[in-house]
Chain A
C-alpha cells in the first residue's frame, strides 16, 4: 500500500559554527569542530540530511568539583591536574573538544587571579590539540576580568567563550570580537530571554553566526521537560525561518547531573534504586541522549562511561 510522503522542508538552515583554529588559520589547534547546519530535527533523513553530527566536550575544571568519589575515581588521578584531565578526556574518553571551567577564580573558592586563570588556558592549549570552550567562575564580578585575560591568552584560537547574558552581553561581545572567539548566549530556562539575548548581541554588532545558544541545562528529573521543550521549540522556530533561533544549541549535562541526588547517592539514601556507580553514569547518559532528540549540538559531559555510551550512538 502506498503510504503518505511525510517529508517536510525547512525555511532556513541552522547556522554552522566552527570552533578551533588550525596553524594556517592563526591558531595552534590540531583539529576543529563544526556543529549546526541542520535542516530538520535529528535523524529525520526523509526531511533532509543534517550535515554535522552532535559533538561531546569533556568537562574539565581548575579545581576538583564537589563530585562523588566514584566519579572522581572513574576519571582517575588526573582530575587533580586540569591539563592531564583534559588529555585523558581526549585520549581515553575520545571527546571532540574540552570545556574548561575556571571555578577557582571565584572569590568564594580559591580566588585565583585572572592572570593565573589565563596561564592555565595557555597550559591547556599546549596540552591538547582539540578546541576549547572557556567558562568563567560563576562569580559575575570576577568573570569579566577572568574572561578578558583568558580570551587574550587564547587569541586567534577560535575558542567558544561562556557566556553572554542579559547583563554582560556588551562586554562579552567586545571580548569575543577583539580576540576572534565564538560566543555562548545564555538564558535561564526561558525561551523569550533566549531570543532577547540574541537580539541584544545583534544590536551590539555581534554576528549571530558566531553564537551557540545555551538555554541553561536542567538535569533529568529537575526540569528536563522544560528545557527539552524550549530547545525543541527554538530549533523548530529556527528551521521555520526565525533567524534569531536558528543557532546551534549547547547542553551542560555534567554540571547539572552531578549535583542531583539520583546520580550521586547510594541505596542508603535511595533504597532499591540500584548501584549508584552504574546509576550515576546512566543518569548522565539518558539526560544527554534525551537532549540530543530535542536538537542539542554540543554536550558537555563528565563520566567516561556516560560519554562512551552516548558517543556510541552518535557515531
Chain B
C-alpha cells in the first residue's frame, strides 16, 4: 500500500527545520510519497512515527503461508470486495478433513486419496490444496501428524482444540509448517504459546466479532502475525456471509488491523449435499480456506470449479491456444469450424460439437481473447486472418472437402473467404453455440 504525502506529513516533526535538504516538511513528505527519498532521511523522526508509517504502508490483509518445500499454500492479501474492482488474488483452498476415528490404514488411504485429487479443467490444474488432520481423539497425535507430514503432498492443517494433543502434534511436524487449527475462547493462551514456540500460523475463533478482534490483537502482541480468522457454523449460508463481509469490509475499507487476516471456514451440516452447496457460498464470498468433511469427488468437483471461476482474473482475457483442435476422432470427411481464441467461445463451441456426437475440427483464430462480435468490432478478426490461420494450421490437408462452417454472428466473411481461399463452400453456422447440435445433424448427419 503506497502512502500518500498527507499520511507521511502527519508523522513528521513539522518543524520545517530543513535538515533533510527540503524547505518544508510537506515538500519532504511529497518526495517520500514519490519514493524519491526515504523516511529515515529526516534526522528528527521518532521511532513511533516510523512504526506507524510502516504499519500504514503494509497491506490491509496479511499474507499467510502454509507448508514448506514444494508443498506450499498462500492465502490472504486480498484487496477488493468485488472481483470486478480488480481481482481476487489467491484462490480459495479446499482442505479435506481426515477425522480422528479413521484407523491408521484408512487414514493413510485418505492421505493418498487427497494426493490424487488433481485434475485438469479447461487447460489448468485444479486440486485439493490442503490436508486437514484431526488430532483430538487419536491415540498418538504426534505419530498421526508425522505420518501425514511424510505422506501428504499438500500442506497440513492440524485440527484440534486440546492443547496437549496439539502441542505434541505441532512439535512432531513443525518443519512442514502446518496451520494450527484452532484457538478458541477456552484454549487461546495455550494455542498462542504453541504457535509462538514452533513459529506456526494459527487460526483463531471467538464467540463474537468483538472478542475475535481482542484475540487477534493478543496474538499479535506476542509477535504472531500469520493468523487466520476461523468461522465454524451451522447450516445458514447467511451467517457466514455476514461474518466474512463484516471482517473483510473492516480490513479493506476501514483499515481495521485486527481483522486484516484471511478466513478459514467449516460448516457442520447433515449431508454431503448440504456441505457442497454451503462451501460454494464460502468460496465465492471471501473464504481463504474451506474445510470439507465429505470426500466424494462428485461433491468436490463443482466446488473446485466454482473456485476456478470466481478467482479468474477478470482483467485478463481468457484464451486458448490458436491451433487446430480435434473433437472426437475426426477424419477426412469431418466438418471444419473456425472460432475465436476467447476461451469461453471456444469451450462452448467445443462442448456443443462434442454433444452433437459428430467428430469435427475446430480451427481457433487468435483474436486476442475477444469473442466473435467483440473481435469484429475491435478489428481483431478479418476474413484474411481466418484464411491465414487455416493455412498455418494446415487444415486443408486434414480433409478432402472444402466446406468451412463459420460463426453465424459474422456471416459477412462468407464471400471474401470463398473468393480469396481454397475454402469454396462456406456454410454459415448458427448464431449461438447451443444450436450447433441440431445444425450439425441437419447439415452433416446421415
Q: Give chain A's interface residues, CB within 8 Å of chain B.
A: 1-4, 6, 41-46, 66, 108-109, 138, 218, 220-226, 228-229, 232-233, 236, 259-262, 272-276, 278-279, 281-283, 285-287, 289-290, 293-294, 305, 309-310, 312-313
Q: List 30 A-B contacts (CB under 8 A).
A: A1-B217, A3-B210, A3-B256, A4-B250, A4-B256, A45-B242, A108-B442, A138-B435, A221-B308, A224-B309, A225-B309, A225-B312, A226-B344, A228-B309, A259-B352, A259-B434, A261-B354, A262-B301, A272-B119, A272-B297, A275-B298, A278-B296, A278-B298, A283-B301, A286-B305, A290-B310, A305-B273, A309-B273, A313-B236, A313-B237
Q: Are A262 and B82 in contact (CB under 8 A)?
A: no
Verify B296–A221 contact, CB threshold 8 A: no
A3-B250, A222-B344 given; A282·B276 CB < 8 A: yes
Q: Tell me, yes or no, whether B90 is within 8 Å of chain A by CB.
A: no
Given contacts A3-B256, A305-B273, A313-B278, contact A221 B298 (CB under 8 A): no
Inter-chain contact A44/B242, CB cutoff 8 Å: yes
Residue positions of B touching A, CB distance < 8 A: 82-84, 116, 119, 121-122, 209-210, 213-214, 217, 235-238, 241-242, 245-246, 249-250, 253-254, 256, 258-259, 273-274, 276-278, 280-281, 284-285, 296-303, 305-306, 308-310, 312, 314, 344, 347-348, 351-352, 354-355, 434-435, 437-438, 442
| CA–CA, A90 and B434, complex, Å | 28
* Min C-beta distance of A186 to chain B, whole Å: 12
CA–CA, A44 and B237, complex, Å: 11
Contact partners of A46 in chain B: CB under 8 A:
242, 246
Q: B210 near A2 (CB under 8 angstroms)?
A: yes
- Given A224-B306, A272-B119, verify A229-B84 contact (CB < 8 Å): yes
CB of B277 within 8 A of CB of A286, answer: yes
Neighbouring B residues of A43 by C-beta, 8 Å = 237-238, 241-242, 245
Q: How far is the CA of A109 from the CA of B217 in the complex (A)?
A: 66
Report the Cα distance A3→B438, complex, angstroms: 58
Question: Which residues in A have their C-beta under 8 angstroms from that of B276?
Answer: 282, 285-286, 309
Alpha-carbon gap, A233 to B83, bound state (A):
10
Q: Is the Cβ of B84 less than 8 Å from the Cβ of A4?
A: no
Mostly, the B contact residues are helix
Q: Which residues of the other chain, A, contact B355 by a CB distance below 8 angstroms?
A: 66, 259, 261
> Chain A: which residue is nearest B238 at the CB level?
A43
Q: For the complex, what is the distance from the CA of A66 to the CA of B437, rounded to whole Å?
A: 10
Nearest A residue (CB) for B270: A312
Contacts of B238 in A (CB 8 A): 42-43, 45
Residues of A within 8 A of B297 (CB): 272-274, 279
Q: Residue of A at shortest CB range from B208?
A: A3
**Cα separation A222 to B214 with both chains bound (whole Å):** 43
Report Cα–Cα, A236/B85, bound state, in Å: 12
Q: Which residue of B lies closest to A277 (CB)?
A: B298
Q: How far is the CB of A229 from chain B (nearest CB, A)?
A: 5
Given contact pairs A46-B242, A290-B284, A313-B277, A274 touches B344 in the complex (Cβ within 8 A): no
- Evaluate contact between B235 and A313: CB separation under 8 angstroms: yes
**Does the CB pair B306–A3 fall under 8 Å?**
no
A6-B249, A43-B245, A259-B434 are known contacts; what are 18 more A-B pairs with Cβ within 8 Å? A3-B259, A6-B245, A43-B242, A46-B246, A222-B348, A224-B306, A228-B310, A229-B314, A232-B84, A261-B354, A278-B299, A279-B301, A282-B273, A282-B299, A282-B301, A289-B277, A290-B284, A293-B281
Q: Which one of A3, A46, A262, A283 has the greatest number of beta carbons of chain B within 10 Å?
A: A3
User: Which chain B positions have C-beta within 8 A of A293?
Assistant: 241, 281, 284-285
A118–B158 alpha-carbon span in the complex (Å): 62
List chain A residues, Cβ under 8 A from B348.
222-223
Q: CA separation between A276 and B299, bound complex, in Å?
A: 10
Task: Tell whether, in the assembled complex, residue B351 and residue A222 are in contact, meaning their CB atoms are under 8 Å apart.
Answer: yes
A218-B122 Cα distance, complex, nearest whole Å: 15
Known: A6-B246, A261-B351. A220 touches B209 (CB 8 A): no
Closest-by-CB residue of A relative to B308 is A221
A223 CA to B122 CA, complexed, in Å: 11
Nearest residue, chain B, Cβ from A44:
B245
Q: Which residue of chain B has the shortest Cβ distance to A264 in the bound complex?
A: B355
Chain B contacts for A310, CB-based, 8 A = 277
**Are A220 and B274 also in contact (CB < 8 A) when A3-B210, A279-B301 are?**
no
A311 CB to closest chain B CB, in angstroms? 10
Given the contacts A6-B249, A44-B241, A228-B310, A286 and B302 also touching, CB distance less than 8 Å: yes
Are B351's CB and A289's CB within 8 A? no
